[in-house]
Structure 1
């Protein structure tokens, strides 16, 4: 289980590095990896919003 988590962390770190490198004019493959990384982040962000909406209780306190 720890190896799987370590692999995920390595992929995330590599994706973030490619995003920075692509912003500075890196090679084409780095721009492709950066695009995939940013798209995956947007998908995860969107799914997090949907989950929070489903788990919300009736009383917000507002």
Structure 2
């Protein structure tokens, strides 16, 4: 079951990347919408990872 969930997430990620490339080349409106959603989700993940790293770095330096 876990493999199916991971494959689903992978398919969504690949599909989103394809839509981003297609939208850059002037695809239909729905492709541009999916590309915008994909890029926004990427920014959210990037921001979350940055905050997580800051939190871990701060706790490690305080423990020393």
Provide TM-score, normalisation by structure 2. Answer: 0.89
Structure 2 runs not aligned, ≥5 long? none
Aligned partner of 2:10 in structure 1 is 9
Aligned partner of 1:39 in structure 2 is 40
- The runs of at least 4 consecutive aligned structure 1 residues that moved more than 2 Å come to none
Higher-helix-fraction structure: 2
The DSSP-based 3-state class of the residue aligned with 2:54 is: helix
Count of residue pairs brought into register by the alignment: 59
Aligned partner of 1:28 in structure 2 is 29
CA RMSD of aligned residues (A): 1.0
Structure 1 runs not aligned, ≥5 long? none
